[in-house]
């Protein structure tokens, strides 16, 4: 599991659009902590800090410690709203961590050693079917990513869920089939026949401004 990031936060007295807008004007992002059958806790976090963290890969699969008035709340980021134009975070939802509760999360797939794939070397194309795989586990067991080694893969080969290394305590949410992660597809190339112009086409067409040979002879006889 990755190192747990610590964020400083301030409690918000009230929820609502008015207080949320006031928080944003003061350079802070409104957020809420919920879960574990406890009352929701409305908070704000520094805008610059939140922007740095939320755009890092894996933000939504990493646990976070939020410190408020000397107390630490271990949470998992679950959702965020962004400005449609500036992409600035407008609101973030955090769920309280529970060692017993399993949740569904999307874990990214990383493809490694493409240069060691004979199929890709010969022009094959890596066709990614799933960039992420949904799993079920507790928040402290979420994998960083699923590595897929492309070494030795030929054109026509496929990577399926059964080939992924799944840590203990983690399971796929799709259990009724061995779903496909990626394939090495054959390259799409133009055949030699398609690439060649039709024979005689260029010779048959006279150059611009030139009369056909027969017409040129007629002109000579008239002089």
pLDDT along the chain (223 residues), means of 10: 85 80 92 95 95 93 95 96 93 96 97 96 96 97 96 97 96 97 86 52 49 48 47
What confidence score (pLDDT) does residue 223 get?
Answer: 46
What confidence score (pLDDT) does residue 217 get?
Answer: 47
CA–CA dist 22, 34 (Å, integer)? 22
What confidence score (pLDDT) does residue 199 get?
Answer: 53
What confidence score (pLDDT) does residue 98 get?
Answer: 96
Q: Let me know if 52 is exposed, middle or buried by CB neighbors in 10 A (0-12, 13-18, 19+).
A: exposed
CATH code for the structural domain at 103-189 = 2.170.120.20
What confidence score (pLDDT) does residue 196 get?
Answer: 56
The domain ranges of the chain are: 5-97, 103-189
**Extended strands (E) in 63-174:** 64-68, 71-82, 89-96, 102-112, 125-128, 132-138, 146-149, 158-160, 171-172
| Count helices and strands in the chain by DSSP H and E runs | 6, 13
What confidence score (pLDDT) does residue 221 get?
Answer: 47
Q: Give yes or no on whether 5-97 and 103-189 have one common fold.
A: no
Query: What is the pTM assigned to this prediction?
Result: 0.78
What is the third-level CATH fold of 5-97? Ribosomal Protein L25; Chain P (2.40.240)
């Amino acid at each position: 599991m990755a190192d747990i990031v610590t964020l400083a936060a301030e409690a918000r007295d009230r929820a609502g659009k008015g207080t949320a807008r006031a928080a944003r004007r003061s350079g802070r992002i409104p957020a809420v902590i919920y879960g574990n059958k406890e009352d929701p806790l409305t908070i704000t976090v520094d805008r610059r800090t939140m922007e740095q963290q939320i755009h890092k890969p894996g933000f939504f699969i990493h646990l976070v410690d939020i410190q408020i008035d000397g107390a630490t709340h271990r949470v998992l980021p679950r959702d965020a709203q962004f400005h449609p134009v500036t992409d600035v975070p407008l609101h973030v939802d955090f769920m309280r961590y529970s060692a017993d509760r399993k949740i569904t999360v999307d874990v990214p797939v990383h493809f490694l050693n493409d240069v060691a794939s004979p199929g890709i070397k010969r022009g094959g194309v890596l066709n990614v079917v799933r960039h992420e795989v949904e799993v079920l586990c507790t928040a402290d067991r979420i994998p960083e990513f699923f590595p897929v080694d492309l070494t030795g893969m030929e054109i026509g080969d496929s990577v399926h869920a059964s080939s992924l290394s799944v840590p203990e305590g983690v399971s796929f949410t799709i259990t009724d089939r061995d779903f496909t992660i990626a394939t090495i597809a054959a390259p799409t190339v133009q055949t030699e026949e398609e690439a060649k112009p039709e024979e005689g086409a260029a010779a048959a067409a006279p150059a611009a401004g030139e009369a056909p040979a027969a017409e040129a002879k007629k002109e000579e006889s008239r002089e």
